[in-house]
Structure 1
């Protein structure tokens, strides 16, 4: 059976590099969906793809649209019957000068509710030996959060629970109570923690069946990448390019899976502990 891959947020940066890498490493009969929210940028990205390898197909998929994930999953089901690789990479980036109160609605709609909608829509479509991956960050661990806040994201067992916690945090940012409390001012930290918590929650429901079928559900940290957005916050002059950063993620989904990666945050092939004091596993 020909393989099918979907990459969200794929018109630039890491997402575009993942599409290019999949196209090169999959077979000519396979299909890679390059998705984003802007039709013109999607078409430009598809047209710039190197020749050869899998067929790259552009589709509009705005993860910030509450109906888009279910709609696009239905389209993939109708065309192919299922999916083999999904990279949830779409993200709304935030800069140092952005006011969290002004952007938090759109930010959580894309980064967090977009993630949980993607997981709900595509988890039932993943075929045997497939992968469902959320691109997150090593910031997405409880180590980055004040201990008094750990209970918000630790031990969650349903995506609805994750959404409830994200909504409560979002509202606290909007009304200013987050800023006067223990929440970090950098909204990327709770957002990334919630993404990893979403993967862990879904994994708690699907673990036995997925492991029997060889399915990998995981969050991944690609490490620091040399992109214009990262450069707003850090010195990334020596950081890898998106193409280089994509290699470890592609290896994760295209090489034989490791059960210890299931439901975890993985960075360069190693599990990053979600809970402080837990030893990392290779």
Structure 2
């Protein structure tokens, strides 16, 4: 790959990256798609998806990503296993250095490296992820009808998740490690006024409890008194933020204070001509599979227009 200059390289194989691959492949740009550390993105750890159009009975996350990949492969898309360890956007063509020492040269680059939900780091959290532990109420709230659920976090994201879950859950408890929320006043008031929401302040999660198959409870520890208490519940939603996978581009692209790559207006155009960003690495608002796919389409169209302009 070192001697060949690609028209377009796509970093990432989630909904954004694979949609970009489908579009650029169909226009005969022969894209190279680099899988990254988590091929398929966050949907690979999503058990059931019921809100992606075209699947009235729902579909498992890994199955959906397999279909994305199969469709992309129809259009002369080349896939490269591996991870990009370094990029050089100061030169043309751009140069990507893979972790197996390969180098890739490209005239345009589509960044679809996604974002990772922040987790608590508990072994029990990992054990029950997808079996009662979630980081996305919009994705999984439907499965908790008439249930008792806990939301962990104290910012606007936690308040939004809690309010959304009241559409389904019987009761929602918000747990925060400090004695007051970090959320904006308006979001905090909305949560506090909702009769289906209660709060546990000065509490941290010691362990998520289960029967081996699913979540059955949660153990909290009071950071002031040191006392621990166990509560029964059916689900635990972790809402302590996301970390965009943008570290490779620090100092080379404009990145906001939260780590999201900045794009111009409603486009996928970044601060470096010929570099485009799509999906969760630049979307701090929606973070849904369908919006990621849509932004992947935009990045492909933007890249195609850019390549036409430099020919």
Instruction: Give me the TM-score of the superposition, normalised by structure 1.
Output: 0.37
Based on CA coordinates, which of the two structures has the bigger radius of gyration? 2
Q: Judging by fraction of residues, say which structure has more strand.
A: 2
Which one scores higher on RCO, CA 8 angstroms, separation ≥ 6?
2
Instruction: Give me the TM-score of the superposition, normalised by structure 2.
Output: 0.35
